[in-house]
Amino acid sequence: MKKGIWYGVGAYVLWGFFPIYWKFLHQVSAFQVIGHRIGWSFILLAVYIVVTKQWQDFRSVAFQPKTIGIYSIAGVLLSINWLIYVWGVNSGFIVETSLGYFINPLLSVLLGVVFLRERLRPVQWIPVGLAAIGVIYLTFVYGRLPWIALSLAFSFGFYGFVKKLSPLGSLYGLTLETGIVFPIALVYLAVVGMNGSGAFLQNGTFIDALLIGAGLVTTIPLLMFASAAKQIPLTIVGLLQYIAPTLQFLIGVFIYKEAFDFSHFIGFGIVWAALIIFAVESYLNRTPAQPIPELGED
């Protein structure tokens, strides 16, 4: 289990340092960054499946009309989530993007209640209510609805909801959903390349390497998480998932000096208190049959 924990920690730490990676691509439009991320991720995942001799198994389970329909929705939601995240990071909203992933677990619980008719234990309503209070408070602090955080939470929350209904595991699922949106990304990148506004092969070797590497930094933590999820209990996975938004928050405040004063601290503090209550309550009422949650693909 020790090896599994290190794989899990490694995956979430890599996701936590994503803002630094995307900041290196700040001069490239978020649409182009996501186009390359989708494209190179699919290529690398497909190569991995072929090299590990899983292609026949992948084809047999993936190329079904219902499965393709489900993962088409998942692919669109994931692309939207990636786009908002990269745009938010490179527009100076790293702290707010981290808030989205702090809120996400509680929103996922609420989606289960609304759409799957799941029932919350009485104590579980407390963190859900606190999170709502935190968001309302931050709306007044920001002078606007924290739409970046909410967009990330809702897009990834619905993505997780769709994945809950889907038949494939993390590796095959991400391969299929990136494969479905791959042609769209490829056409878009070809168009911007032909009209002279494409960043690839136009801004030096370093930028080209980072754009290609977008696929690598997506697939490596995915494979690490997939390995960890098989070896460690759900309760540990649940605790590890907060590493990524915590690191993102710290990077935004201490490295990129984003605004975060006492009024922001109160709002975030309310959300953090909600997460603590939620985590403790979930731990005390854990059951061995609970599924491993979907990974935090930022």
Q: Which range is least confidently modeled, 47-61, 68-82, 112-126?
A: 112-126
Whether 289 is in a domain gets the answer no
Whether 244 is in a domain gets the answer yes
Tokens of 147: 């739409």
Whether 290 is in a domain gets the answer no
| For residue 137, pLDDT beyond 80 | yes
Whether 295 is in a domain gets the answer no
Whether 25 is in a domain gets the answer yes
Nearest to 8 by CA among 171, 227, 160: 227
Whether 291 is in a domain gets the answer no
| Predicted TM-score (pTM) of this structure | 0.87
Q: What percent of the chain has pLDDT over 70?
A: 92
Is residue 77 helix, strand or coil? helix
Whether 190 is in a domain gets the answer yes
Tokens of 81: 């989530």
Q: Mean pLDDT, to the nearest integer, of 191-217?
A: 91
Tens-place pLDDT, residues 71-102: 999 999 999 999 999 999 999 999 999 999 88
Q: What percent of the chain has pLDDT over 90?
A: 56
Average pLDDT score, the chain: 88
Higher pLDDT, 2 or 220: 220
Secondary structure (H, E, C), 264-297: HHHHHHHHHHHHHHHHHHHHHCCCCCCCCCCCCC
Longest dimension (CA), the chain: 58
Tens-place pLDDT, residues 270-291: 999 998 988 888 778 766 544 4
| For residue 296, pLDDT beyond 50 | no
Rounded Cα distance between 19 and 113, Å, is 32
Rounded Cα distance between 183 and 191, Å, is 12
Q: How confident is the model at residue 196 (pLDDT cuts 50, 70, 90)?
A: confident
Tens-place pLDDT, residues 173-186: 889 999 999 999 99
Number of separate domains in the chain: 1
> Domain residues for 127?
2-284
Whether 298 is in a domain gets the answer no
| For residue 55, pLDDT beyond 80 | yes
- The pLDDT value given to residue 233: 66
Higher pLDDT, 108 or 150: 150
Higher pLDDT, 32 or 120: 32
Tens-place pLDDT, residues 11-22: 899 999 999 999
| For residue 140, pLDDT beyond 70 | yes
